[in-house]
Amino acid sequence: MKNAAFSISILSLALLPAACTWVEPTVSGNAVRVAYDGKVAGCRDAGTVAVTVADKIAFYHRNEYKVADELETMARNEAASLPADTIVPRTEAKDGSQRFQAYVCGRTQLHQRSDTQPAAQPGTAQDGVQTFPVKEH
């Protein structure tokens, strides 16, 4: 019985790192956006980023979503050092590797409302959608 408990403890310790996130975003990496739609017109090409993380530990295959998330985080961190502010996935994540194209798009590509444009007023049509205030009872 002690051997079984010991074996389970060792196995648990071996699998514990698989639940951890190994790639942490940097401050500059957080500023890099991912253009999933590939819309980078007007942006300047900054290069290619190829990233790799562990997708399996011994016989244990890590969660594919966690691996993909870490690949994206690592690509954002690397793109910031080029410097670039936007990345576009060029390949699917496979065997813990993925390629991204990095771009410098500047603030104009962020599609943020500038201070010179007034915010839409409640009840006005914006992009074919009309909003109405909700009455609380």
Per-residue pLDDT of the chain (137 residues; tens, 9 = 90+): 555 444 444 444 454 444 455 789 999 999 999 999 999 999 999 999 999 999 888 888 888 999 999 999 999 999 999 999 999 999 999 999 999 999 999 864 444 434 444 455 555 555 666 666 666 65
On whether the 2-108 domain is CATH 1.10.3470, my answer is no
**Residues 49 and 75: beta-carbon distance below 8 Å:** yes
**Residues 46 and 81: beta-carbon distance below 8 Å:** no
Tell me the CA end-to-end span of the chain in Å, nearest whole number. 64
Please state the length of the chain.
137
Tokens of 68: 């993909």
Cβ burial of 10 (10 Å; 0-12, 13-18, 19+) is exposed
Tokens of 13: 């310790």
DSSP code of residue 65: H
Torsion of Cα atoms, 73 then 74 then 75 then 76, to 10°:
50
- Domain extent listing, the chain: 2-108
